[in-house]
A and B are shown apart, each in its own frame.
Chain A
Amino acid sequence: MIRIEDLSVRLSTFRLESICLAVAAGEFFCLIGPTGAGKTVVLESVAGLISVDGGRISISSRDVTGLPPEHRRIGIVYQDSALFPHLTVEQNIRFGLRYHPEGNRFPAARLPSLVEQLALKPLLKRSVTHLSGGEKQRVALARALSVEPEVLLLDEPLSALDPNFREEIRDILKQIHEDTGITVLMVTHDFSEAQYLGQRAAVIREGKIEQTGTVEAVFNAPETPFVARFVGMKNLFPARFQGCRAELENFSLLVDAPPGEEKSCLAFRPEEVRLSRAGDSAGAGNGFSCRIEKILPRGVLSEVRLRAGNTPITAMVTTASLCRQGLAENDRIFAGVDAARLHVL
């Protein structure tokens, strides 16, 4: 549906290099990366809003590389909504109807149901300047969908919202995608958004794609240290492997199967670490002894900073289990991780 081949863009302070992505028809695809990684540049290249220096972009098998944005049949929603401040809600939504290839009639007939779905009816005559963040984003979505685009481009649509609006818009996005089957390319820096909404994802870093795959695959099997950290594997260490044994600087752990020779890192999530006073019950014996440096309460869970020799390890455990075991800072304890929860890369 969207095919990006060997895309390169050179801006004054930034460059995208040989980006290749394919988004299937009807797919919700997330492009994930930290601020400044080039996500929006990719999105705006697809939209035709910046000129590319190389490569090809096609939408529905049409080569659109040289087409201006108005001929690409796309809808775009920015994080700050970018509503037209001089127009009412209704005028915003109807803005693009006159350019629709089938004239005003066809999409206009769909408009009431769109307005209904996004609960915009009471707002139609209002000016957009005093709407809440959630309302603005609903208007922006209606405006983008009103022209029946072939692809919907979302640029961090949830980032500028308060937490409760964020959930509302997130659910609406999911609902719209399920109802209409529209192809979506969403840019985000928040992996949890991708997990909730996305089917496939790509992680981008400094203008290059690091990994592409299903959201689960990226989450569970990151291929590079950067992606591993990005999906929450805070504990990431260089390791030497001998059979199933991973030798780290200050301790060793057993992994499920002997890894390939090119592997040189071991990673695991803080949530996978279990703590105990006893020397053998935690992690089925697969663990190491360490000292609690700091306990940082985070509500239901607590972040526990551990140190084994000079290796810092982060664990997230329930605050209740900490209390139950009476663990405190400076205690020497045993930390364990299931072999199946260790990621080799």
Chain B
Amino acid sequence: MKIKVLQNILNANDQIACQNQQLLDRNKVLAINIMSSPGAGKTSFILQTIKRLKDKVKIAVIEGDIASTIDADRISEEGLPVVQINTGGACHLDANMLSNALDSLPLENVELLLIENVGNLVCPAEFKIGTHKSMMLLSTPEGNDKPQKYPLMFTESAVIVINKIDLMPLLDFDFTAFQRAVTGLNPGAKIFQVSCKTGDGIQKWVSWLESQLRDH
């Protein structure tokens, strides 16, 4: 006997993601899922954002890594609440991991939650975790052909940040081709160009983030 099922395999994950978002909404927290390849500069980007916003906005950070607390240690020097999730081999954060991490944060005292996903351009894009916005960071040495190679990452991200623009003169990164591919796939995507090393472009991103916080 054949039984028709038609059920999404990630249904259980998506339900928890939905509960996470409800919990964040009850506490009026704006949560952002930050994704990229390993080494694109997620932690530096979070640090730059914190530096410019921490006197105005109550920020908390969740760090996702396969192992180690190196990133969480860097963030905690800023004196903010930070939770490290070690996925123990898993290549992405899922909704359940975020749910557990949210339990250890003082959410009633948080306005902005920055979540650093595991460095990977494939799996994080497939798993909803319950954030309000997804963003991806691409560093210029990775090349401008990433939208064609990892399309899902670019369709799922509302914000795309190009990091390490200070290296542009040394590289063949074709920004026009990149922008054409991104806006073709995701016409609503917001694109920022920054250098976490020099601080170039960071203020533009932070101003945009502040406008999102006001509207949230």
The yes or no verdict on A and B being binding partners is no
Q: Residues of A with Cβ closer than 8 Å to B?
A: none
